Structure 1
Amino acid sequence: MSQEGFSVIKGDSSDPHKITYLAEGWEFYPDVEASPDELSDYTSKEIYIGQYFSFSSFHKNHSPYGSGTYRIVLTGKSGSYSLLLPEVFSACNVYVNGELTASAGSLSPYRPLIKDTIVTVPLENRQAEVVVQTANHSHYYSGVTYPPAVGSSEAVSRLISERMIFYGFLCFTSLTLALFSSAVWIGLRHDPRSRENFFLGILALSFSIRICYPFLRLAGVPLIRPLYALEDAMAALGIFCIIRIVSLVCLKRGLLSDRILPGISLGFVALSAAAPMVILPLLPAFAAVYGQLLFWYKLIISLFLFFLVLKHLTGKSSENFPLLAGIGFYALSLCAHMLCLGRYEPARTGWYDEWGIYGLILLFSVRMVIHNIRIVRENIRLNRHLQEEVEHKTASLNSLLEERRQLLLGFAHDLKTPITSITTFTRLVQMEQPDLSDETKQYLDTIRQKAGEMRDRLVLLQEFSYQDTPSDFSVINLTDLIREFYEQNLPDMDVSGIRFLLHISPKEPLFVYGDHIKLISLLQNLVYNAVGFVPAEGKIELFLSLKDNNACIIVRDNGSGIAPENLPHIFEQFFTRRKGGENGGMGLYIAKSITIEHGGNISASSMPDSGTSFTVSLPIFHKTDQI
């Protein structure tokens, strides 16, 4: 309860929970900076805290700048109490029982400092007088605008702690949502709908910056104009982001409202940043106009949002329901904030519009999560379908390739017999008809030569098609395989007049993991490739050694060698150095393919007229290796 100049403290100084808010019963002395013993010389006005947000009502030019003194007499049970003065604008002195007990900034010379001030109030003879001198020459708020709180020191400390915890929770959760939204936007920035995530991240970031002010007031940060410019700009930026999200989701592109509203809201961001820093210091009377502009702007925005909610309530999209609920909640909170401004100040939690924008951020986030879950599910469905489609196409392609391979092998096998017959019958004709003319003999030789070329092509076709067959890998004794290959091919080399030599260095057998038939094909391609370039009485050597934990196979000849410009191309498909393209340039290509399939590598070195050396390196198989 209170009366003019008096307020009764409920509870006592030992009550750890009871807080009395001193909203009513204040004497106010406009444009007066007087000590307690000088106030009797001036006329006071009875007010309640929050009735005036500035001194503009007492000035003809509506300037918010000036000074004022507040006085109240507290009554209650005897004891020592704590008095919390939240955010006195913008410099103040606090007197308790006629003595200066606290100050924020300086009244003369003027130095502003907005700070939560706590003073001790001893009730002597059950009464105490509190006088607050204030001055403002820097901001649009003036004097004591929020009701002071009085109670035990424990109760006041708890009040401050609860408020800090509340704003800390809002600040850090909003910052977390901002980071999450930014990450989603970066990941989906090529999706047109990701712009919602971008503006949601900016909205949450601006809100987290805006609601840092309780911590700054408690700490007494001296930057008055920049901090209020930042706070106002972040509040306006939040509205701009809300308008942009609403435009993206609820408005058709190209509408007049879609073009005008974002521009107006962005203009208010610039105005909110410029007013405290530039306009008000030069034109203090603009404070009243600025306040009216913000009031009507926020009221119109809230009504517009209400209209959108009502318009889209008939929609059946469950994805938009959180958005519409958030818009409606924010519009309602914005209206409540404008109507209750000066009549209700939160004690432990936040203002109506702070609740509204935080709820809006949460509901926007719910919508974003629902949308992203749908995207993930759709991607999973598409990937599953794609995988099934790939498996189906792969199976079809493998089947087609296998049919092609079998067809080629069948053709190659079936054509061997007629080609052999052509060769045989041309020889028989030549043997049975010794009196053939030289020209006829030449024709028969040409037929046999072309038939031989066709036979060679068919052999290569069979070998190339055979490479498509699945490999039958097993542990192979490479030492025995090379020795077996050497013994089987030595007679052919002797008939060709070529010395074929074998050199096996390691005494212990070397084992590799591979396909026996394909390794034999690898050796055949390398050795018989050398045969074509080794002269009569030439030499081909086959080496097996252990080098760097790899089996090293070397096929070396003393033939004509390879020109330096051809050496980089010898393993390419269809590249050949033989006259007329004999054998089609497939032998070394197949050798390289087999080597790579076995996890090894192949290389060649050569000098013209000095022979060529092919080196194949295959990994050794150890008993500890996993098959």
Structure 2
Amino acid sequence: MLTAEQKLKERIKELTCLYEVTSLIVNCDYDDMETALLGIVQCLERAWQFDEETYVLLSTPDFFIKTEEKGEDYVFLESVITVFNKPKGEIKVGYPSPKYQLKDFLEEEQQLLDNVCLKVGNLLERKEIKEKEAHIRRQVEQSDRLRILGEITAGIAHELNTPLANILGFTELLQEHISNDPQALKDLDKIITNTIFSREVVKKLMFFACEMPETREVINVVEVMEEAINMLRTTLRQNEVSCEFEHSEDTIELRIDKIQLTQVVFNLIVNAIYFAPPKSTISVNLGIEKENIILKIADQGPGIPEESIAHIFDPFFTTKPVGEGSGLGLSVVHGIVQSHQGSIAVTPNTPTGTIFTLKFPKK
């Protein structure tokens, strides 16, 4: 039985603990939550009656924090941490067993523990709200940037089309007039090749800016995939890479723009060829899962660096050397897939490489 003086001392410890916990929460840096939670755990350790033998453990899906253990077995007071009315962890305060039993805890200590768990739950709620607000803000900013960028790229594409067509046309005319000069013909071939490459970049810009006309119709995706892969056979052979195409059915129908689907397949397979080592295999798999058509393209290259994954669908972002990639391929793919209410995800291949998984809803 505690004396009046002992009871007063315990109440002071509990009130001090609540004050310190509140101060930690008010001044918490959401980017360094672990420091704040460690401080809360240490406050609880000091607030218990037998503080020198108290052991405190806080656990959530993201954090596991505890004080120094004072024994092997413990008897615990426990309280649940709730976040948005759902249990998301707990705090346990214990004494070494069998030296102490549950009856050695004070009734007020359970109330204190419940109060602290409530405050920790509120802190985690505020952190989650802040993260969602930051995510929404980033989405809005990204959407606004893409809208402006779309307008700019549409203008650039239109401006470039005419001079590129002129360069290509006049170069072809020159070829007819200097057929007796082999070196000049080689130089003109280089001009034509680079002009065609530039025109393809312009097409990608127009795809990105949604300036290309779209015609959706029900097509057999298997046939489109086979045609696209066959057109890339020369490129595959030159890079000593093979491509295997598997499909669960001979006819898999989808309402989609055929040209845009071909653009998606070309971009992903050409990317895979670029990064695939010689003698390796690119696997293309097409199937149906419930109400979705799933397309997977896997290579055996070095894989995408973890720090780049968040940016691979950003316009003009590329991991290729300067001059070897426009940074628009995957951005175009992402835009086309989204415009068809689909999704695209990237995951590591095993043991090495990358898998792009595209999901289109059946219609």
Rg (Cα) greater in structure: 1
TM-score (norm 1): 0.30
